[in-house]
Structure 1
Amino acid sequence: MTKQNRTGFPFLEALLASPTPVVMEVKRRDAHGYDLVGGRTPAAIVGSYEVAGAPCISVVTGRWFGGSPALLRDVAALTDLPLLQKDFITRKDQIRTAKELGASAVLLTAALLPATSMSTLVTECLLTGLTPFVEVTDESELEAVHHPEECVIAVNNKDIKTRERGAGDLGRSLDLLPAVRALGTACPVSASGIDGPATAAELLDAGFGGLLVGTSLLRTGSPAAWVDAMAAARKELAVR
């Protein structure tokens, strides 16, 4: 898909255009149930992400992490940045609801969806004007991704079978990157388990077009300082 044809899909456009392509996440709890908000309001978190130069924001509406659809609606009222609804989307009506709540992209988890459902939901996203944010964990799951050039394809470094409670396997991202890029996605993303700016810089240096970071950013005192540290680490890698 050409840049011209991407008009109307602000999530993908913003991520591709950003010098710091980090999708910053609003998430109430981590995988172990520990509070990540620390008394902050959604407005305070979103404001800190805007200051840090976030191109897009992920809003976790899944109950595992203390989310709800209302959180997406609230964040949409706070910012003009494109939003990803991060939840288990399995039906077309959920896609339409996501659009109504203010999303510009929705998560489609390949491990949960039969190939026919993946095709149907990707098509529904595109017809609705939403970017399909397709999450994979192994190469076989890529076979079910339709219209990959119009999708963000993200390698999840954690496993939903264990409710993402492990530390994450960043080697998975590096191993799958060639296959993800070969599929034709405009923006391969590494998601989850990115523990700090140095790791983020290494993944971008390896060829990822974007990252999705939640817990690490929510636990830092300053997302802007986190992004600055990532930029410094990328400069160091560039001169090696």
Structure 2
Amino acid sequence: MSAPRFADALLAARRPLIMEVKLRDPHGADLLGPRTVTDLVTRYHQAGAPCLSVVTGRWFGGTPRLLREVTDATDLPVLQKDFLTRPAQLEAAAALGAAAVLLTAALLPATSLRRLVTAALALGLTPFVEITDERELDLLPDPEHCVVAVNNKDIRTRERDRGDLTRSLRLLPALRAAGIRAPVSASAITDPGDAARLLDAGYAGLLVGTALMRTPDPAAWLADLDAARTAVAA
């Protein structure tokens, strides 16, 4: 069974940004502040988000309950970001309203990755497969049914590094060659100018978390992205 809803929403968007709900940054600093989760989701709606991501991993202060809060507050497709390794976790994500689930290739043996992709699709979930090198891409089953994201940060350091956007640029030709319909660049995207360059290079979407959580006005950040894209096109 294919699960296109998340990918289709991203591919149809004028601004293909997956906007993220994350309670803490990689260093433990509070990102939500006095806002409620519903307040944040409303701001993302107003900014035109096509999809949302919610970090339920404990490194970032998340819980499965946070996923339910987000899905209760929106009808947009929602990605659960956590280190999911068992089919039962995918079933729980579907029950909590997720449309997509993160599968981290670096943490999963090839057989487990294949099993989880198959299980996600059977549940109507989009597998959002995160890679950091071309070898991980080679292990991916059913790439045409997956969103494949290049993580610009290092999970071995709990993503506390500054990130390397050149990783996304370096891997993009391999993603295209593999027939990935929705390549995504994820993490370490803080500047609208960098976001514009990644989209201009050919990424179908970007996952932006901390930068949007920290900005007082997501709409202004997105206006700067529009201006940067215009400048890149010129």
For normalisation by structure 1, the TM-score amounts to 0.96
Aligned residues: 234
2:99 to 99, 104, 108: 104
Partner of 2:161: 166
Structure 1 residue 9: Cα displacement: 2.8
More deviation, 223-232/202-211 = 223-232
| C-alpha separation in 2, matches of 1:16 and 1:171 | 23
| C-alpha separation in 2, matches of 1:49 and 1:196 | 18
Alignment check: 8 A CA contact 2:79 2:102 kept = yes
1:175 to 167, 170, 173: 170
2:150 to 155, 160, 166: 155
Structure 1 residue 17 corresponds to structure 2 residue 12: yes
Partner of 2:114: 119
Partner of 2:190: 195
Partner of 1:65: 60
Aligned-pair identity (%): 62
Alignment check: 8 A CA contact 2:4 2:145 kept = no
Structure 1 residue 218 corresponds to structure 2 residue 213: yes
Runs of 4+ aligned residues of structure 1 deviating over 2 Å after TM superposition are none
For normalisation by structure 2, the TM-score amounts to 0.98
Structure 1 residue 32 corresponds to structure 2 residue 31: no
| C-alpha separation in 2, matches of 1:104 and 1:170 | 27
Q: Let me know the Cα RMSD of the aligned residues.
A: 1.0
Structure 1 residue 195: Cα displacement: 1.0
SS at match of 1:118: helix
Deviations 1:2-60 (A, max 9, x none): xxx96x53111100110100000000000000011111100111011001100000000
Corresponding letter in the other structure for 2:194: T
SS at match of 2:227: helix
SS at match of 1:77: helix
Deviations 1:67-113 (A, max 9, x none): 00000001111000000000001000111110000100000000000
SS at match of 1:190: strand
